[in-house]
Amino acid sequence: MSNDEAPPPQGDYVPAVLHAGIVYTAGMTPRRKGALQVSGTVGADVDVDTAYRAAGLAVRNAVAAVRAVQPDGTGDIRCLQMTVYVSCTADFTSLTAVADGATAALTEVLGPGNRPARSAIGVASLPSGAPVEVQLIAAVG
């Protein structure tokens, strides 16, 4: 899958929905061609650097989903909000360090003026054992 293709859904949902110029993405995990590239729990069997890179791949998938529902597929994208879920141990507190991987990749793909409001949330588990999942809300033009 290129970065321009929306990742295939892993269940009964669509990767993104466009409504009134706003795109809402499903949660995206670090997959390539549908295959999870990293699995495990951050703070146990996944280190911060690996989770950082996984968050970058997940956000690239989310941007591809946004592009897939744009009317012309090439218009402007302005990310408004990003939520980064981190599957982590109960004592892991470096959620921001992991989420920074998603922000860095988003900035690389869409430009430095495109940092969104962001939340980083620690959770007990994520689909298919993914260490991170990223969800975006973006305005498209």
29-49 pLDDT tens trace: 999 988 999 999 999 999 999
Where are the alpha helices (H) located in 11-86, listed in sequence order? 48-69
Give the CA distances from residue 108 to residues 43, 47, 103, 125, 134, in Å, rounded to whole numbers and listed in that order: 26, 23, 9, 28, 16
Residues 1-22: tens digit of each pLDDT:
345 677 888 899 999 999 999 9
Segment 74-87 shows an average pLDDT of: 93
User: Does CATH number 3.40.190.290 belong to domain 16-140?
Assistant: no
Per-residue model confidence (pLDDT) at position 4: 61
Per-residue model confidence (pLDDT) at position 73: 67
Helix (H) or strand (E) holding 101: helix 95-110
Segment 61-69 shows an average pLDDT of: 95
- Give me the chain's average pLDDT, please: 94
Tally Cβ neighbours within 10 Å of residue 54: 29
Per-residue model confidence (pLDDT) at position 35: 93
Q: Do residues 26 and 13 make contact, with C-beta atoms less than 8 angstroms apart?
A: yes
Spell out where the chain has E strands.
16-19, 22-25, 31-32, 35-36, 77-87, 117-123, 132-140
Could you tell me the residue ranges of all domains in the chain?
A: 16-140
Residues 124-136: tens digit of each pLDDT:
999 999 999 999 9
